[in-house]
Chains A and B, each alone.
Chain A
Amino acid sequence: MRIILSSTTSVPMYEQIKTQIRHAIHAGELTEGVLLPSLRQLALELRVSVITVTRAYNDLVAEGLVRNDHGRGFVVRAVDADQVDAALAERLARATDELIQAARAAHLTIGDIHGKVEDAWNRH
């Protein structure tokens, strides 16, 4: 898992860390039982404070994605397939909304979008 933080967005660091770990869990890159880097190790790697990583991890625990295995560290929990589907559907809906807004602003038709999406799909 590679976490990359932006220092120019208004999204707080802990939120960026949380989102990227959540995406990695949903995508199956981080699977059940995987031990996350220790709070202090990740803080050192990302050049953020310990409290920032603590906050991200605690939020992931509250979301049920990770558990705090005292003495061992933070461990990825089994994912609930329905919950992942719901999260992915929501992410897709958000991206679609953004796409449509951008397309409307550029006066594109649904046909133009189809074409662009298809091109991009084939490139990836």
Chain B
Amino acid sequence: MASITVRFYSIYRLYLGMDRLSLQADDLGDALAQMEERVGPRLREQLQMRGIELDQKMQDFSLILVNGINIRNLGETKLREGSVLHIFPPSAGG
């Protein structure tokens, strides 16, 4: 079990009213499940109020980095003590 921090950015920070969440998690899957349970419904509700309809889990519509690496690039899902998850929505405007 590792102590980890989840950091929220951009509209996630604003809509959730917090910039971080502390968790105790066994691995990445456990951390994502806890994050989903703690803030997923509130984030989806806030997004829905602004016309963004999403019925998937946060991890399915967000960019998530573990210690600076996108989770889709990670070979292993073990989290070490002090690991940081950064989470924000994809943006592509110019």
Please say whether chains A and B are actual partners in one complex: no
Residues of B within 8 A of A (CB): none
Residues of A within 8 A of B (CB): none
